[in-house]
Structure 1
Amino acid sequence: MIEFKRNRLSLLISLTLAGAASPAFAQQIGEAGLVEEVMVTASPIRDSQKAAIDAKRDAYNNVDVISADTIGRFPDQNLADSLGRVPGLAIERDQGQARYINFRGAPFRYTSLAIDGLSIPGAENGRVPRFDSFPSVITSRIDANKAIMPNMPGEAVSGYINISTFDPFAQRGWAFSTDVGMGNQELGDGDIEKLSLRSSWSNDNFGFSLFSSENSREQITDNREYDLSRDGGELSVNELDFRSYKVTREDRAYGGRFEFRGDGALERVFVSSLYNEFQDFEERNQFVFDFAGGAGAAGAPQAVGERAENQYALATRSLEYGLYENSTFTNTLGADFALGDWYLESRLNVTETENSTFLPMPYSSGGFVMASYDVSDLYDPAVGGLMDSTGTSIGPNDISYPPGGMLAMTISAAMNIDATKFKLDAERDLQLFGSDSVLQTGVEMDSREAGGHGMVMAMGLWPSGVNIADYATDEPWDSGFDNGIGATYYDNKALRRAWSRAVGGLAVTPHDSQEIRLEEDVSAVYAMVTTEYGWGNLVLGARVENTDYLSEGPTGNFEDSFTNFLPSAHLNIDLADDVKLRLSTSTGVSRPTYSEWRGADMVDMTGANVTAGNPALAAEESWGADAAIEWYPGDASLLSAGLFSRSIDDVIYARSTVIDGDDYMPEAGLDEWTYTEYVNGNNGEMRGAEFNAIAQASDFLPALSGFGISANLTLLDSEFETLEGSRHSLPGTSDTIVNTSVFYEMEGLSIRLNHQYRDDWLSTTENVGMTEYWAEQKRLDLAVSYELPQPVFGASVSLYANANNLTDEEDVRYEGDISTPNQVEGYGRRYLAGFRVNF
């Protein structure tokens, strides 16, 4: 597979350098028919920032804009990284890769994602958008809307992110661009490959664009997890978990647009298509040492302190080779036309999203050993001195497990959503009380069917004909830690193939109680009036959304219908030619995810727990206010400060209790089970302050022309009340978020140093105590590019080099406080170099 990719890279490079025929072209940004042209000359950072600032200045709401060229010049792996540099937005990573957005510190589902103004289902649970598979090659700009208007979906409680795709009419005639890069992930010496291609053509009436993008990254993820406790200051090491992941992540996207633009009442007709896919191939080698369980089994006291020797421990081993994948396939037919005094935009969209997990895992438990441990460095624990029951020294691969503890475990989850949307927007000019105004109105019908199953685990005895020991290798774990157990890898891929052959294939068949079957229809209508005054403008309007849903379960169906009235107002005042004041109030609704709304319970007999769906769960309703002042001191500079607040009713969270297992499932023979259910809490609040500065030296100190800075600071606070009356922050809320970029550009050279910081945040509400947090995270990234002074075969060529995580940061999660971490994860630095070509 890798060799095929490299051949493809060589072919593309040859085509790129041999097929040039036209000069370098201007980068243009299009949205809803409005084209903003940016001539990318000797100052691409300045020019792209100017375009984004102009778009923000002209907007009727509080919005931050990222242009395509800015995205290309960040050392970012995907659009989530780029969005993480917007004021008020923070990112959550999975094994070092940006994946989710905490928009103003809110839970994931409070953010709505749209492509060209059409919201699409989240890849996970119908509500949670992921940004790690959307390629920059399709993007002309990204709008992060913070104050929601009536023509935006009501589910955008904290924000509405719209990705505007490339406009084939941005340049007449043929245009071609490509980005080819190769690099290295430091930990594990993994290969990184990047390839994107976009071609377009247009004349006065016809145009099309085609694109493709493929990225691949190999890495090692170093993981240590803990179960620690302190009683009276004494540290107890209950369990130490050592993991090494070999990961290959691939994403690809294909699509295009065909468009006709008329000269009369029919302005344009187009059809567009986008398919994107993300795959995460994961090998896990894992050893867990349970010192508390070992002491209990031996009837011996458990040691306390940072170090202990010759302690009893129960050992487990997991050797997974599995796949996480998700995809989105969205297709749109659109037409824009005039009808008398009205201008209409009509859209028909069909979207399919798929999300699945399949993790076959040979699982061995019940190994009984003597071991020593040392956690004097909590971020680099060690377990050594392993001995078997005879007192013989052994290595991790020599641990003996009882036959009943040799298990074949397969974990599976799936969610498929088919969505059909019709949207019609209309607007016309009018005079309102002697002032120029625009009336906008529209309807939207969104129908979705979701099917799949929650996390399902199948378990049986390991096939006797497959000896796991035969697949142990002599290759030591590749680790940024000290490899504190002296482990070597297994050949997980070969082990999975042998297992599959022995049992005739690997599969999981979910029980009816684990399936998710849900239908949802959302109908919306809105109206808004924008009125221009000498001092600014005022936008008043409202949106009404009606939701009908049916949740099917094994014991019956549940259906309900509810309507939300969502008014909003936006006042934009020009205090001076270069100073703008924005005041707004808006409302929103956040519906439960499809897993939360499912009409069934998910039963895990091996873990003795039940996760219950709640089809009667109420949607969260919000209202809030925004205030911002913006100063535009130069063509490409901006200083702004803002305040915001949101009140949220019926906050959804997961509550866990202990139940009598014999009453719930007598045949399981277990006394106590953990029962987790989704319920509505009360009195949710989000509030914060944002400060943003984009300064070009040429606007203030011409002698330092070429230098610039982009910096923003966000201060956040949130809380909600559980049914028991305790108060917690909303998951994802850091108190402080800081993004800073210092850059220099001159004569084709661009250098940008980026720093990101966010302090601790609650990682999940799906536990009893709600005490699990991610510790503060920092990232330092560098991007350098140079545009050749002369065209190459008529094309502009830029060379670039990116470096991510320069300070080799690790991600830490803890329980209660930082003195008791329960996870430390590292993955090393990342380097990428390549070239971009524009014809």
Structure 2
Amino acid sequence: MRTFTTHVRHTTDVSGEIQMTVFRKFPLAVAVGAALGIPTVQAQQLEEVVVTATPIRDSQQASIDAKRFADNYVDIVSADTIGQFPDQNLADSLGRLPGLAIERDQGQARYINLRGAPFRYTTIAFDGIDVPGAENGRIPRFDSFPSVITSRIEANKAILPNMPGESVAGFINIHTFSPFDKEGFSMAADVGTGKQDLGDGDIEKYGLRGSWSNDNFGLMLFGSENSREQITDNREYELEPGENGELTVHDLDFRSYKVKREDQAYGGHLEYRGDGALQRVYASKLYSEFQDHEERNQWAFSSAAPVAGVTAENVPMIVSRNLEQGLYENSTDTTTLGVDVQAGEWFVEGSVNYTETEFGMDLPIPYSVGGFTMADYDLSDIEDPKLYLATDLADIEYAMTLGLHYVQQLDIEATKYKLDASRDLDLFGQASTLSLGTQWDQREAGGFVATPVIGAFPAEIDIADYDTGKAWDANTTNTIGGTYFNNAGLYNAWANAADLSVNGLIGESNLIAIEEDIIAAYAMLRTEFSWGNVVGGVRVEQTDYTSQGTLNDTSVSVDDSFTNVLPSLHFNFDLTEELKWRVSASTGVNRPTYNEWRAAASVDVTEQTVTGGNPTLEAEEAIGVDTSLEWYFAPASILSVGAFYREIDNVIYTDVSTIDGGIYFPPAAGESWEFQGAVNGKDGMMQGLEFNAIALAEDVLPAPFDGLGISANLTLIDSEFKSLDGRTLDLPGTSDMVYNISLFYEKYDLSVRLNYQYRDEWISPIEDPSEYWGEQERVDLSVVYTLPFDWEETAVSLYANANNLTDETDVRYSGNGTINQAESYGRRYLVGVRVNF
């Protein structure tokens, strides 16, 4: 078996942690050192470490070591020994950790439900600097951040005082590579190409990271670009169950999406390291952008005379047609300047961060309505509905075509000032570390919620001229004879004939204008004992916000200020050298999203109704406990069991409620008005059990079976809250059961992993609260072969990935228990080469 030699220097910093600097390539020590988050070095001792080309094992070793020595309950995914992250999409990697479930959009991992909680209960950060979520300011997305710079991801489940308080479910910290990880010049490159099975779409992947460092200076630059073309085959329904179990069909919706998703990122890190009082000065930059180009060809059929039964003949159908040429996009642009100094016995870290996020949706749709045909249907196979038209689809005539333009925009500017200081001290004869810190966040958010702008469509454009005649690529039966239109050409003709700008057309009731200031301070004490350590402290966060809007031509401004005191206490017991027991108590706060907190709303004075934002929403507050028992029984192996419980007050959800009309219309002060929008529930709760096992056969089975390994975890979750009218509901995002199983084999420079993911049904936080997704499962395969040569310390690996091997169909249900969506997109294949030196 081929080996690589690595020299590692060890030293101890002011907190007594081991530090490493790598002087050669391909180290297991690099992964372990990176996982421990180690910064500077001083030469004291030199030793040789020999590792093998086993990227899965080495990544697991780094992750487990970092978890083992952490001061809180955390799960971690690390890059492998040659600096490659195991997945293109960070959500895919996080989804393999205990308690983390993926929510996909048209098959692509996008969001994370951490412990079955809504997306906004999780905060995201880069190297400890938390940034706004591009979507709604609170919701992190993982489909645009580049894996090329990611050395590890920490999913903190028990929150320390030096972490953001807005982490009710958890705090996900994305650590980037440092130019000092390798001395001299190094480079990592990744080129891949592939196909999406349905529609034969192209997949392309490019990533490049280069760095250089000496004893004092380091520079890293990176760039990545990925694109995926796919077809999404979609059927949507409106069904009504009868008393005898028969279904009545109201609507059948046939759609085919042609999708091209692109993400690109670039940035870098420049750093100086000193040996005196000035320890470090650095500047870092990350720009990441995601674009979803979507062509939708859609025909909706509404029964004019609904009848009971899954089959029917000669049913009159009202027909509409949508031909969308749309774009969804979001971006994050974050820049950090920082300096670390040794001021006597205090180690002080200061930083300033400026982040801009943009989120936009632009869906121009020629919308034809008032068509008619007779039809037969057969819904015996509910996921493959068959509708037979008496009139050819192309011959259906429509009463009129509207120009429907569906738009949304949210721009956020955030400035953060952060100062942290720590020092060692002796506390009653026990070695301790005292940490103090403060942080000031200023945010401005502006834009508007999803808004339909409706106008006339140019009469001189004949939409039939843009019918390509090409039948849909579909997993289901295309009984209606759906064909693709040249949506791009149709859009261009529309744009040439009319002004498609929406400036001045967005209703004042849809606008967002929020300013938010958060001042935080914390004190934390870590004390070592013979049996382990205790970490305790308190974080205080004061929030000031102003939400502005316009109601009935009257400007409205609502402002408020509140303070949250957030204590936490963490015990880490070393029961034996291999067995660790953790017990934590922590608190958290979750502020409303900007869509929910906006003051703008639609007010009907006559009917005494209000629909829109709710600037009087209270922040959600949480208190809870975590415990885990972790057995590190062998290298790169673990058996663990954990439990958690959270009580959540002021749970935010959407409902119809009664408010004081004076909030939106001052003359109506004291009157009871009806409000539809976000409100505060009560008595929220989430609890669960987490089981995790990673084991290798290297010390159990003889060759060649000693390369086998398994990683498996199971999470059982329960959640609930009470609505204003006393109903007990689940928190959006909660699946009762989530589990992952990975079987892998690594030997002879070959790494093979077969991964299975499953989650039970759940309510989606981004869909109608009355709707829920059915259970989902995924089977993925990855193969990596490292070429057997060592030329100038260069490693070349060939890889192949196959995703969604079982060609799953995702199904969603309405509140009455009937199916209302089924969509599929086929398997995905990617092959490529990685070079690292």
Task: Normalising by structure 1, report the TM-score.
Answer: 0.91
- Equivalent residues of 1:316, 1:363 under 8 A apart: yes
* 1:568 matched to 2:572: no
Residues 643-722 of structure 1: matches in 2 within 5 Å? 643-656=643-656, 676-701=676-701, 703=703, 704-722=705-723
CA distance in 2, matches of 1:424, 1:40: 39
Q: Could you list the per-position Cα deviations for residues 722-774 of structure 1 after superposition, in whole angstroms to 9, with x for gaps in the alignment?
A: 0000011100000000011000001210000000000101124875xx43110
1:507 to 502, 509, 528: 502
Q: CA deviation at 1:234?
A: 2.0
Partner residue of 1:204?
A: 215
- Equivalent residues of 2:736, 2:760 under 8 A apart: yes
1:310 to 303, 311, 314: 314
- Equivalent residues of 1:749, 1:785 under 8 A apart: yes
- Equivalent residues of 1:283, 1:319 under 8 A apart: yes
- For residues 811 and 77 of structure 1, do their structure 2 counterparts lie closer, same or farther at Cα, with a shift above 3 Å needed? farther
* 1:235 matched to 2:232: no
Instruction: State the secondary structure of the residue aligned to 1:181.
Output: strand
1:162 to 160, 173, 194: 173
CA distance in 2, matches of 1:40, 1:805: 33
Select the structure that is richer in helix: 1
Residues 356-371 of structure 1: matches in 2 within 5 Å? 356-371=360-375
Partner residue of 2:514?
A: 518
CA distance in 1, matches of 2:494, 2:77: 49
- Equivalent residues of 1:791, 1:797 under 8 A apart: no
Partner residue of 1:247?
A: 259
CA distance in 2, matches of 1:104, 1:594: 23
Partner residue of 2:294?
A: 282
Task: Normalising by structure 2, report the TM-score.
Answer: 0.91
Q: CA deviation at 1:25?
A: 3.9
Q: Could you list the per-position Cα deviations for residues 383-434 of structure 1 after superposition, in whole angstroms to 9, with x for gaps in the alignment?
A: 1132xxxxxxx222221111xx310010110000000001000000011111
Instruction: State the secondary structure of the residue aligned to 1:576.
Output: coil
CA distance in 1, matches of 2:84, 2:542: 42
2:205 to 185, 194, 200: 194
CA RMSD in angstroms comes to: 2.2
- Equivalent residues of 2:58, 2:81 under 8 A apart: no
Partner residue of 1:431?
A: 426
- For residues 413 and 133 of structure 1, do their structure 2 counterparts lie closer, same or farther at Cα, with a shift above 3 Å needed? same
Partner residue of 1:58?
A: 69
Residues 432-581 of structure 1: matches in 2 within 5 Å? 432-508=427-503, 509-554=505-550, 555-581=555-581
- For residues 610 and 792 of structure 1, do their structure 2 counterparts lie closer, same or farther at Cα, with a shift above 3 Å needed? farther
- Equivalent residues of 2:79, 2:85 under 8 A apart: no
CA distance in 2, matches of 1:411, 1:511: 13
- Equivalent residues of 1:656, 1:766 under 8 A apart: no
Q: Could you list the per-position Cα deviations for residues 605-631 of structure 1 after superposition, in whole angstroms to 9, with x for gaps in the alignment?
A: xxxx97410000000000000010000
* 1:385 matched to 2:416: no
2:272 to 257, 260, 263: 260
Partner residue of 1:631?
A: 631
Instruction: Name the aligned partner's letter for residue 798 of structure 1.
Output: S
Q: Could you list the per-position Cα deviations for residues 663-722 of structure 1 after superposition, in whole angstroms to 9, with x for gaps in the alignment?
A: x99xxxxxxx99631100010000000000010112444553211000000000000000
Q: CA deviation at 1:44?
A: 2.0
1:412 to 382, 400, 407: 407
Q: Could you list the per-position Cα deviations for residues 478-502 of structure 1 after superposition, in whole angstroms to 9, with x for gaps in the alignment?
A: 1011113111111100000000001
Instruction: State the secondary structure of the residue aligned to 1:583.
Output: strand
- Equivalent residues of 1:810, 1:825 under 8 A apart: yes
CA distance in 2, matches of 1:122, 1:40: 39
* 1:327 matched to 2:328: no
- For residues 149 and 284 of structure 1, do their structure 2 counterparts lie closer, same or farther at Cα, with a shift above 3 Å needed? same
Instruction: Name the aligned partner's letter for residue 354 of structure 2.
Output: V
CA distance in 2, matches of 1:812, 1:694: 32
- For residues 23 and 150 of structure 1, do their structure 2 counterparts lie closer, same or farther at Cα, with a shift above 3 Å needed? closer
- For residues 462 and 675 of structure 1, do their structure 2 counterparts lie closer, same or farther at Cα, with a shift above 3 Å needed? farther
The percentage of counterpart residues that share the same residue type is 59
- For residues 265 and 147 of structure 1, do their structure 2 counterparts lie closer, same or farther at Cα, with a shift above 3 Å needed? same
Structure 2: stretches of 5+ with no match in the other structure: 1-22, 42-47, 666-672
- Equivalent residues of 2:509, 2:612 under 8 A apart: no
Deviates more, 1:268-277 or 1:694-703: 694-703
CA distance in 2, matches of 1:787, 1:310: 63
Q: Could you list the per-position Cα deviations for residues 582-640 of structure 1 after superposition, in whole angstroms to 9, with x for gaps in the alignment?
A: 00000000000001000112699xxxx97410000000000000010000001111000
- For residues 680 and 658 of structure 1, do their structure 2 counterparts lie closer, same or farther at Cα, with a shift above 3 Å needed? closer
- Equivalent residues of 2:119, 2:765 under 8 A apart: no
Instruction: State the secondary structure of the residue aligned to 2:692.
Output: strand
Q: CA deviation at 1:793?
A: 6.7
Deviates more, 1:194-203 or 1:505-514: 505-514
* 1:785 matched to 2:784: yes
CA distance in 2, matches of 1:116, 1:379: 44
CA distance in 2, matches of 1:658, 1:432: 55
- For residues 816 and 615 of structure 1, do their structure 2 counterparts lie closer, same or farther at Cα, with a shift above 3 Å needed? closer
CA distance in 2, matches of 1:797, 1:42: 11
CA distance in 1, matches of 2:561, 2:290: 35
- For residues 25 and 437 of structure 1, do their structure 2 counterparts lie closer, same or farther at Cα, with a shift above 3 Å needed? same
* 1:174 matched to 2:172: no
2:196 to 185, 191, 203: 185
Instruction: Name the aligned partner's letter for residue 172 of structure 1.
Output: E
- Equivalent residues of 2:773, 2:812 under 8 A apart: yes
- Equivalent residues of 1:61, 1:148 under 8 A apart: yes
Deviates more, 1:26-35 or 1:736-745: 26-35
- For residues 40 and 407 of structure 1, do their structure 2 counterparts lie closer, same or farther at Cα, with a shift above 3 Å needed? farther
Partner residue of 1:601?
A: 601
CA distance in 1, matches of 2:152, 2:62: 10
Q: CA deviation at 1:23?
A: 8.0
Instruction: State the secondary structure of the residue aligned to 1:823.
Output: strand
CA distance in 2, matches of 1:74, 1:261: 27
Instruction: Name the aligned partner's letter for residue 757 of structure 2.
Output: Q
Deviates more, 1:363-372 or 1:560-569: 363-372
CA distance in 2, matches of 1:406, 1:438: 69
CA distance in 2, matches of 1:679, 1:825: 32
Partner residue of 1:590?
A: 590
Q: Could you list the per-position Cα deviations for residues 89-132 of structure 1 after superposition, in whole angstroms to 9, with x for gaps in the alignment?
A: 00100000000000000000000000000000001010000000
Instruction: State the secondary structure of the residue aligned to 1:517.
Output: strand
2:819 to 818, 821, 825: 821
Partner residue of 1:750?
A: 751
CA distance in 1, matches of 2:73, 2:558: 39
Q: CA deviation at 1:186?
A: 0.4
* 1:123 matched to 2:134: yes
Partner residue of 2:153?
A: 142
Instruction: Name the aligned partner's letter for residue 268 of structure 1.
Output: R
CA distance in 1, matches of 2:66, 2:789: 31
CA distance in 2, matches of 1:345, 1:692: 35
CA distance in 1, matches of 2:252, 2:146: 39
Partner residue of 1:221?
A: 232
